[in-house]
Structure 1
Amino acid sequence: MAAPRGLLHSPCSDENIMHYYVFKDIRLPPFCRGKMEEISEFDVREDDVWVISYPRAGLWLEDVTYLVMHSTEVGIGDMSQESIENGVQFLEYPHPGLETIKNLPSPRIIKTHLPYCMLPRAVQEAHCKVVYMCRNPKDVMCSFYDFHRMVKIVNYKCTLSQFFYRFFNHKLGYGSYFEHVLDWWKHKEEENLLILKYEDMKKNFGEFTRTLAKFIGMQLMPEQVRNLENYWMSQSQYNKREDRVGQWKSYFTVIMDEKFDELLPEKLKRSTLQFDYQ
């Protein structure tokens, strides 16, 4: 693609910033090496709930899913972040590992950022419930950029303009955001798939949790919804300014915004998917 006016025509000199592992022509984090075949044959259960998104697109989805599935427990307001983290397993991450996840009691909540083509066959064939979250690509790009700068092992020092190039040319971990989303959007009518939007979670958390609960097979009482909302609003990590909808406006130049809008239709391939940007 032609780089935006005022943006560099190539990424920064450190081409392989995370020592990516390339599988099926898609860049993956190095910890995915050696386990993709095992993942493709991973044993999936009917009562599994898989929470899937591109990095930074499904921010906090696993937490909301865990909270909804445990909403009947007394004292949800006292639930620790540690209990939530321990209750959701990251499929491809080194800890706790595939063997441990395989042996967890049901129902399991399993998180992954892997694209559709790399998921276990049973997930692709809808043998479990899948919750997929998308987010407007401008905020995804800016949030992923911040993530790269924040994580010490990455130590990303290039500019947002250079990251823009990476984002539109599939040079980041987990490949193209647009292909990641569209591969799931094609299956949006399938009974065992629920596609949610990050912006809806931020706009109306109560309605968001009711939709998620209904899909999982639960019916939340009004008091349970209020308890979830109160807990959510009381936790500072869920209400950071940098995670608000439209945060991209604090990053983008006018030229960058114009170029993004110019390139977007081609990336969406005439899909009916629409994003909310503010």
Structure 2
Amino acid sequence: LTNRNRLSNTKAGSHLSTFSVANSGSDMEFCEVSEESKQRYLSRVPKAFVLDDTILPGLLFSSESILSSKETTQLEQDDVVIASYPKSGTTWASEIVSAIAYEADIELLNRTKMEDRVTWLEVDKSRLPAESMFHASKRRSASPPARKRIWFTHLHVDHLPDAVKEGKCKLIYVARNPKDQAVSSFHFHRSARFLGLRTDMTWNEFFSHFRSGFICFGSWFNHVLPYWKFIRNNPKAKLIRYEDMQRNLLAEIKSLEEFIEVPLMIDQRLKIAEHCSFESMKNNKMTNR
């Protein structure tokens, strides 16, 4: 299929020729990406499609799975949804919140894979190979009991399940300095199969796409700002920063336990801080998605 056909192969998709990028207060000439670079980027992302002017990787999602998660996901009052732009600390935040929900039962956490504790809202199982870890994330039946059910998503705020926007559960948004996020995302583009294994992509090429928003999951600015606006007036939503977790992890653990209403003792917080340290996370196979 041509890029144009691939992009139009969804009722929610839009053609490359009509793709637009919001001018988030910056000079659009500075953000311009050549048509050649756009075509090259799209041709390398397997089954790429566009939903509401945002490029998404078709090996993981479909417009149907995203719209279905929005309309049919049943969330309860005690559920927690963790949202972020990719490479902003989602896995780290998921492990922290999961450890709080398990009341610092580190032994149990170390026996339970991340995908069995934190469900990916929008993933389309029909597009995944049978051995994919994310099939487990939709089963949940084998998952040991925790104080909270936890979900994560990279969706734009407009595509969140209705229950989240109606305040029927808690929302945590993880934000990261875009300079660091961009560097992490660049390396991820070069290593992730669902993004095309772009080992030939240069930093200059990537950064042009990042600035323009012509990139998987869209513009960082257009993702973060709507969430920030949503959170400002929503007592059941909370924004946390990657840098704050780096600076004072214990304080962030305490803030999160209060937000999701799972009170811990100081010794439990210390256990979680040690479990969720950089070195521990790096060596813990149960936290790797």
Give the superposed CA RMSD: 2.8
- The whole-number CA distance in structure 1 between the counterparts of 2:153 and 2:85 is 8
Matches of 1:102 and 1:119, distance apart in 2: 24
Structure-2 residue corresponding to 1:213: 257
Per the alignment, in what secondary structure is the counterpart of residue 68 of structure 1? helix
Alpha-carbon offset, residue 63 of structure 1: 1.0
- Name the amino acid aligned to 1:145: F
- Contact 1:77/1:227 (<8 A) preserved: no
| 8 Å CA contact retained: 1:12, 1:162 | no
1:238, 1:200 → 2: CA distance? 22
Deviations 1:35-81 (A, max 9, x none): 222112122211110010000013411111101111243xx167327
**Aligned-partner residue type, residue 180 of structure 1:** H
Counterpart AA for 1:174: F
- Structure 2: gaps (5+ residues): 1-27, 126-133, 285-289
3-state DSSP class of the match of 1:32?
coil
> Which whole-Å CA distance do the structure 1 matches of 2:137 and 2:116 have between them?
15
Cα distance, 1:36–1:9 mapped onto 2, change above 3 Å: closer
* 1: CA distance, partners of 2:88 / 2:100: 20
**Which of 274, 277, 280 in structure 2 is aligned with 1:230?**
274
Decide whether aligned partners of structure 1 residues 107 and 77 sit closer, same or farther in structure 2, where only a CA change above 3 A counts. Answer: closer
1:92 alignment partner in structure 2: 122
The aligned residue for residue 100 of structure 2 is: 68
Counterpart residue number, 1:248: none
- The alpha-carbon distance between structure 1 residues 144 and 90, as it changes in their structure 2 partners (threshold 3 A), is same
The answer (yes or no) to whether the contact 1:91–1:101 under 8 Å persists in 2 is no
Q: Distance in 2 between matches of 1:173 and 1:202?
A: 26
Residue 138 of structure 1 corresponds to 179
Amino acid at match of 2:57: P
Could you tell me the TM-score, scaled by structure 2's length? 0.73
Residues 218/79 of structure 1: CA separation in 2 closer, same or farther (3 Å cut): closer
Q: Aligned to 2:269, what secondary structure does the other structure show?
A: helix
Q: Deviations over 1:131-160 (max 9, x none)?
A: 101001111111111101112451212111
Q: Which residue, out of 18, 29, 32, partners 1:2?
A: 29
Q: How far apart are 1:96 and its partner, in Å?
A: 2.8
Matched, 1:35 2:65: yes
Counterpart in the other structure of 1:271: none
Structure 1 position 201 matched with structure 2 position 245: yes
Matches within 5 A, 1:254-269: none
Residue 196 and residue 99 in structure 1: after superposition, are their counterparts in 2 closer, same or farther (change >3 A)? closer
Distance 1:81 1:179 in 2: 38
When normalised by structure 1's length, the TM-score is 0.75
Q: Secondary structure at the match of 1:209?
A: helix
Superimposed CA distance per residue, residues 154-201 of structure 1 (whole angstroms, 9 cap, x where no aligned partner): 121211111111112111222111111111111223110010000000
Q: What is the distance in 2 between the residues matched to 1:15 and 1:218?
A: 44
User: Kindly, what percent of the aligned residue pairs are identical?
Assistant: 28
Equivalent residues of 1:47, 1:128 under 8 A apart: yes
Q: Which amino acid aligns with 2:190?
A: R
- Higher relative helix content: 2
Where does residue 268 of structure 1 map in the other structure?
Answer: none
Structure 2 CA distance for partners of 1:77 and 1:100, relative to 1, 3 Å: closer
